[in-house]
Chains A and B, each alone.
Chain A
Amino acid sequence: METTPESTGGRPAIPPGLSFDPSQFGKFMMRHGHTGFIGMQYRTHGDNWIELALPWREDLVGDPETGVLASGPIISLLDNATSMSVWALRGGFRPQVTLDLRVDYVRAATPGKTIIAWAECYQLKKSMAFVRGIAHDGDIADPVAHAAGIFIQVDADGWSRDPGAAK
């Protein structure tokens, strides 16, 4: 593969044939697995950032007395948004796993409101991607949560497997 640090702007090379279209990936994401179950949606993206949404739903509530969404679905949303921001910056899909993720819940999400997560990859290295994100419910200046995390780039071998093959 003829890629040099110069031709990729210092970023790790994208494996040939692997492209990443966040809006297409978003459609797939909405239909399958955990992201499909909690109802995650793709909104928009830029060079190194992405925006996803999670509509409020009664069965995702963490406090039945107030109707406030559980923090689990908000972490899932931030995990996906930060992860996809790496592919947006890389300009292509490459297998990666979450090394760590920290979330500060600055206030409770408003019951009934859709949560929007904006996330960016602010530093992309050969084996690691550094990400951060903000979750809000309509006004990014009044956030619900802040996230910071690191993704590790891994080999395609063993990254995914046939779900029926585990037992």
Chain B
Amino acid sequence: MSDSAEFLSERLPPYARSMGMRIEGLLDGSPLLAMDFSDRAMGRPGFLHGGAIAGMLEIAAIMALHAELGEEDAKVRIKPVNISVEYLRGGVTVETFARGEVIRAGRRIANVRAEAWQADRDKPLASCWMNFLIKPKG
């Protein structure tokens, strides 16, 4: 795992850890988030809960933004403003991946898109866009 992926792993919040999310490295320049299937992520029998998928998309988006901000990241606090999730396919009982992509990170607002998939990256389970407010710390 690269240094930046290791650094990002330390930024995973308690929620992400308790759901079993982990950083698997970088994929096309953005952190790759992975999560094994478990009962704690299951909604209707045999399928991932929509909230667990959205939660994973959010963490992937946040991690992508941390990575994009680089050295600036230590000086700011990022707050999610909103999210819109489109559900494309049901998630089954296998490992799930998610990756965020920062579309624009300005001084105050960042726009990030994220996708989640399972065995085939070309068949996403869900995608989202998110806006974040960036505020100086303190």
Contact = CB atoms under 8 A, between A and B. Distances in A.
B42 interface: yes
A71 B85 CA distance: 13
Q: Majority SS of interface residues in chain B?
A: mixed
Contacts of A108: 79
B51 A73 contact: yes
A27 interface: no
Contacts of B105: none
Interface string A131-167: 0000000000000000000000000000111111111
Nearest to A77: B51
Interface string B41-60: 11111110111101110110
Contacts of A6: none
B15 A97 contact: no
A76 interface: yes
B72 interface: no
A165 B46 contact: yes
B84 interface: yes
B95 to A, nearest CB: 10
B46 A160 contact: yes
Interface in A46-81: 58-64, 69-73, 75-80
Contacts of A61: 13-15
A163 B81 contact: no
Given A72-B55, A163-B45, A166-B94, A60 B87 contact: no
A30 interface: no
B91 to A, nearest CB: 10
Nearest to A108: B79
B44 A160 contact: yes
A59 B56 CA distance: 15
B85 A102 contact: yes
B80 interface: yes
Contact of B51 (A34, A62, A159, A166): A34
A164 B94 CA distance: 10
B9 interface: no
Nearest to B56: A72
A122 interface: no
A90 to B, nearest CB: 17
Contact of A79 (B13, B15, B42, B54): B54
A161 B54 contact: no
Contacts of A75: 50-51, 54-55, 58, 83, 85
5 contacts: A33-B43, A34-B43, A59-B17, A62-B13, A72-B59
Interface of A: 32-35, 37, 58-64, 69-73, 75-80, 95, 97-105, 108, 159-167
